């Protein structure tokens, strides 16, 4: 372990972040997770969770989902829209974070970027922390892997979705996993169709027989994002959200406008600032 470490100021670990992988620990506010994963679609090998970067709720939900699937005895890969060449932070016994290998500061530079996009938020770090905790438990079979293009590459000239799909397929082909949970921006997790072609879903499973894609949405609340030169909390508006989370299946006739298998509607979004100030 490299000697240099850092603390995540203001990091609040969600309620799911305690204990081993059993159904009682896999909580997400307002959802009965054991019943939730019995819904049609969650038995498919590839489960895509589409997020708006910079919320607290979607990474927390993803951790709860992976926890629940592991509690059911499944081997789970959590594939993240994180660069494949950047290490995930590891929490030390003293509460500080460090990286397992010395990579000349590459991973540190990524997590300390001046214009973060939500993929290095406090909630994302809490989710990674929780998944690493589960992965270390003898009763859980969870792996975490960044599958995005190597950082510092020119993202505009590379097929990011195709690259992520290839990495996911390579990991799936090892026959180590029963489920792959992919957390990525909702643009990347759209189902292929007449108006949607090259997404991660299309690259992994173009016929969609083995995929279930859930977009996490809310009509109100805040996200933490950079809009132009301004980074900070961005208002989502004041629409009325549901009183509790609701999973709404998208009918075939509405797929062109909403290209997902389902939408998980939440009461509100809470902005999650960068894990590292």
Backbone Cα Rg of the chain:
18
CATH class assigned to 23-265? alpha beta
Where in the chain are the domains? 23-265
Q: List, for residues 172-223, the tens digit of each pLDDT value.
A: 999 999 999 999 999 999 998 867 778 999 999 878 899 999 999 999 999 9
Residue closest to 180 by CA, chosen among 164, 168, 197: 168
- The predicted pLDDT at position 186 comes to 94
> 35-51, pLDDT tens digit by residue?
999 999 999 999 999 99
Place of tokens 């670990």: 13
Lowest-pLDDT range of 32-41, 62-71, 172-181, 231-240:
231-240
Find the helix or strand (DSSP H, E) in which 166 lies.
Answer: helix 160-172
- Residue 5: what pLDDT? 63
pTM over 0.85, yes/no: yes
């Amino acid at each position: 372990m490299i000697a240099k470490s850092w603390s995540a100021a203001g990091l609040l670990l969600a309620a799911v972040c305690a204990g081993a992988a059993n159904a009682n620990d896999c909580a997400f506010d307002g959802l009965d997770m054991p019943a939730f994963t019995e819904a049609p679609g969650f038995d498919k090998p590839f489960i895509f969770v589409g997020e708006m970067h910079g919320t607290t709720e979607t990474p927390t939900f993803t951790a709860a989902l992976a926890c629940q699937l592991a509690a059911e005895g499944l081997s789970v890969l959590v594939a993240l829209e994180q660069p494949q060449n950047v290490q995930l932070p590891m929490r030390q016994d003293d509460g500080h974070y460090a990286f397992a290998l010395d990579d000349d500061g590459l991973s540190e530079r990524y997590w300390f970027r001046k214009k973060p996009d939500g993929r290095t938020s406090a909630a994302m770090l809490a989710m990674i922390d929780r998944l690493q905790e589960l992965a270390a438990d003898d009763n859980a079979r969870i792996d975490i892997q960044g599958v995005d293009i190597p950082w510092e590459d020119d993202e505009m000239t590379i097929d990011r979705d195709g690259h992520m799909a290839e990495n996911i397929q390579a990991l799936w082909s090892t026959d180590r996993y029963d489920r792959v949970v992919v957390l990525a921006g909702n643009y990347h997790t759209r189902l292929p169709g007449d108006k949607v072609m090259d997404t991660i879903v299309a690259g992994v499973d173009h016929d969609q027989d083995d995929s279930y894609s859930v977009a996490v949405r809310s009509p109100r609340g805040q996200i933490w994002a950079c809009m132009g030169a301004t980074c900070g909390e961005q208002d989502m508006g004041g629409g009325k959200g549901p009183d509790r989370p609701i999973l709404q299946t998208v009918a075939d006739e509405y797929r062109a406008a909403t290209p997902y298998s389902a939408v998980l509607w939440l009461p509100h979004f809470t902005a999650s600032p960068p894990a590292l100030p």
